[in-house]
Structure 1
Amino acid sequence: MKLIREHLVLRTLLSTAFVGLLVLLVGQLLDSRKRSMDVRSLVHTELTGDTLSLPLRKFEWQAQTPHPLDLRYPYPYPFLLNHPNKCEGPRGTPFLLMLVMTQPQDVGVRQAIRETWGNETLVPDVIIRRLFVLGLPPPLFTKELHTLLEEEDREHGDLLQVGFLDTYHNLTLKVLMGLEWMAQHCPAARYVLKVDGDVFLNPRFLVQQVLQPNGPTRPNFITGYIYRNTGPLRSPDYKWYMPPELYSQDKYPPYCGGPGYVLSGPLALRVLAVAQRIRVIYLEDVFVGLCIHRLGVKPTPPPPQSFLMFPKAYEYCTFHQLALVHQFQPQELLQIWPDFQTVNITCPVA
């Protein structure tokens, strides 16, 4: 068993490193943190093969956009890899739809998640469906990674690729397009989980203790780690910089931390609807907070200390009382998961 686990860890590291190296090289050429591209520019570049047009297109985009963090939404971004029948099946409507945010090059991350907390059959008698939401890779490697992604999707059938460049500043677009897919193809899902790829997730605790399948319907439900009384950072040196021209107020409304939050299906549809009418900002968790604030909805506190936004060393009994832990790497998941699945350990009653 130890040898198999070490093999899985090594395979994950190698696959992630291979595709990550490609993106690292192109990162020296493209400043992805300062722009957003729609699919039309990328398709034009791929068809013509004229990579010299990239700087010109970057300049063209900057000239037409009032601010480099200003997102284009609503906008008809296409689904390039899609599974419209994902929520159909003889068992009925999904109780939980997982929308997992990953980048195109995160092949090893996705495989580790499939083998651990992303397994759709982990919670008995509860229908869970999983989709990995991703955008487009850097233009220079579009063809190479597209071939790899098509092969991965043929094998697993769980990639939802959308036609815009996959950058940190486009994360709000990824979330909104995930909700658009849900509205089109899975509108009856009882709950929707937005979750990042760098977390530990405990689906059993999330479903049984937080969402409670046998509990009442909660149309205005959203929960996660709740941030309160926070405000925008005005220095461009910060990762979460928010210029006043995009958000002028001194405080954000309460919102659930981006690594992972869950909302009821009806509320997800209402968030998507109101997102069409207010200005989109690139901090996706804050933006969802703005949407629910506009709807008059407040986040519901989860069980105490069950959503952790910081790393925590693995301990069996502790982790069985958690829903999510942020900053977990795929090799860590593969190492701890066999022990986490052990059922013959008795934990003290809290």
Structure 2
Amino acid sequence: MRFIRGNPVLEVLLGATCGGVLVLLVSWLQGARMPLEGPTYSRRTKDTLIPTLEEFTWQAQFPLPLDRESTQVFPFLLNHPNKCKVFGGAPFLLMLVMTQPQDQVLRDAIRHTWGNETIVPAVIIRRLFLIGLSSDFSYHHLLEEDEKHGDLLQVGFLDTYHNQTLKTLMGLEWVAQFCPMTYYVLKVNGNVFLNPRFLVQVILKPEQQRRPDFITGCIYRNRIPIRRQSHPQYMPLNMFSHARYPPYCCSPGYVLSGPLALKVLSIARRVPAVHLEDVFVGLCLHQLRVEPTPSPPNTFLMFGRLYNRCDFRGFALVHPFKHQELLLVWPDFQKANTPCPLE
């Protein structure tokens, strides 16, 4: 794998005890690369023995010396390597949507709303749902879902909150292997309202010259690490000792250029890993000396907003947003020809 081959690979302590604090432990392994045509669930039949969780969950062993040779990798258990091979050129936007295995109802809502690949005319968009493993979910259901939609990308480690850094990096690894020519990559959580037309036409601007070091979203600057152990965003001093984080784009949704996605993947092996995924990407940007690009004010909303069609036309993303509400308001949001006040 590109961010594994010849380099250390992220090591994550999987799972957590109830009420405990899980600390992401990271190390990198060398000498491994995923085959381009490895086995995929989508090629299996329902009667074929489904691999168990234990067969594909990479077990954390620590400490590991950084120069250790290993061929262990995180396999893509469900994969669509030809997803970006489309007639008419490279995708303009690749959506990597973060969900969990059991979130089929959420994924269906996204497929019928903002995740529709044809929603922006004359622009090639591709969508993949990135998922990990769950110890209490039937993989027959995932097989059936993927056979129907062909858009699940499953990686062989536990899908937990503290593995989000690893999950995002594996999404970028997929980009490096199978979609390196995409213009932009959108990393987005499933619990959002996304306005693809605004994102593409106002922020990314297909007619504009490509920007190799572009990343934007809701930008946090001068954020102070939370040292309270009971907080979900707790940051131990031994993991990050500085008084403030470098600038970063908030985790629910940000978009970066394809070339920058590959740079982040490349530099990640030299950046001390943290379990807060958006902070980790910010640390990678800091090492690359890349500053996030501000979007128009109040276009990436991180603290929710009551739906109003006229207001939402000017947003790129609203978080959080329940999928039940998304299905209810989407038909109204599609009334593009309905005038709004002051228009």
Counterpart for residue 115 of structure 1: 112
Q: CA deviation at 1:64?
A: 3.4
Q: TM-score, normalised by structure 1?
A: 0.80
Counterpart for residue 306 of structure 2: 313
Q: Is the 8 A contact 1:222 1:299 kept in 2?
A: yes
Confirm or deny that 1:124 pairs with 2:121.
yes
The one-letter code of the counterpart of 1:231 is I
Query: Alpha carbons of 1:187 and 1:32: their partners in 2 closer, same or farther (altered >3 Å)?
Result: farther
Aligned residues: 298
Q: 1:234-290: per-residue Cα shift (whole Å, max 9, x none)? A: 111111000011111111000000000000011000000000111111100000000
Query: Alpha carbons of 1:32 and 1:339: their partners in 2 closer, same or farther (altered >3 Å)?
Result: farther
Counterpart for residue 132 of structure 2: 135
Q: Is the 8 A contact 1:255 1:299 kept in 2?
A: yes
Q: Paired residue for 1:34, among 4, 8, 22?
A: 22
Q: Paired residue for 2:224, among 227, 231, 254?
A: 231
Q: Is the 8 A contact 2:187 2:253 kept in 1?
A: yes
SS at match of 2:284: helix
Query: Alpha carbons of 1:270 and 1:29: their partners in 2 closer, same or farther (altered >3 Å)?
Result: closer
Counterpart for residue 64 of structure 1: 62
Counterpart for residue 252 of structure 1: 245
Question: Alignment identity in percent?
Answer: 59
Partners in 2 of 1:45 and 1:79 — Cα distance?
14
Q: Is the 8 A contact 1:33 1:168 kept in 2?
A: no
Unaligned ranges ≥5, structure 1: 1-26, 38-42, 48-56, 67-73
Q: CA deviation at 1:349?
A: 4.8
Counterpart for residue 147 of structure 2: 154
SS at match of 1:336: helix
Query: Alpha carbons of 1:44 and 1:126: their partners in 2 closer, same or farther (altered >3 Å)?
Result: closer
The one-letter code of the counterpart of 1:156 is H
Q: CA deviation at 1:342?
A: 1.0
Confirm or deny that 1:298 pairs with 2:291.
yes
Counterpart for residue 273 of structure 2: 280
Counterpart for residue 34 of structure 2: none
Q: CA deviation at 1:222?
A: 0.3
Counterpart for residue 97 of structure 1: 94
Partners in 1 of 2:184 and 2:337 — Cα distance?
31
Partners in 2 of 1:45 and 1:211 — Cα distance?
40
Confirm or deny that 1:326 pairs with 2:326.
no
Q: CA deviation at 1:34?
A: 3.1
Q: Paired residue for 1:266, among 246, 259, 271?
A: 259
Q: CA deviation at 1:75?
A: 6.7
Q: 1:39-71: per-residue Cα shift (whole Å, max 9, x none)? A: xxxx67657xxxxxxxxx9xx95x8369xxxxx
Q: 1:48-98: per-residue Cα shift (whole Å, max 9, x none)? A: xxxxxxxxx9xx95x8369xxxxxxx9721100000000002122100000
Counterpart for residue 208 of structure 1: 201
The one-letter code of the counterpart of 2:164 is L
Q: Is the 8 A contact 2:21 2:229 kept in 1?
A: no
Q: Paired residue for 1:178, among 159, 171, 189?
A: 171
Q: Is the 8 A contact 2:301 2:317 kept in 1?
A: yes
The one-letter code of the counterpart of 2:276 is L
The one-letter code of the counterpart of 1:79 is F
Q: CA deviation at 1:348?
A: 3.8
Partners in 1 of 2:193 and 2:336 — Cα distance?
18
Q: Is the 8 A contact 1:135 1:165 kept in 2?
A: yes
Counterpart for residue 44 of structure 2: none
Q: Is the 8 A contact 1:316 1:340 kept in 2?
A: yes
Q: Is the 8 A contact 2:200 2:206 kept in 1?
A: yes
Partners in 2 of 1:315 and 1:45 — Cα distance?
43
Q: Is the 8 A contact 2:21 2:230 kept in 1?
A: no
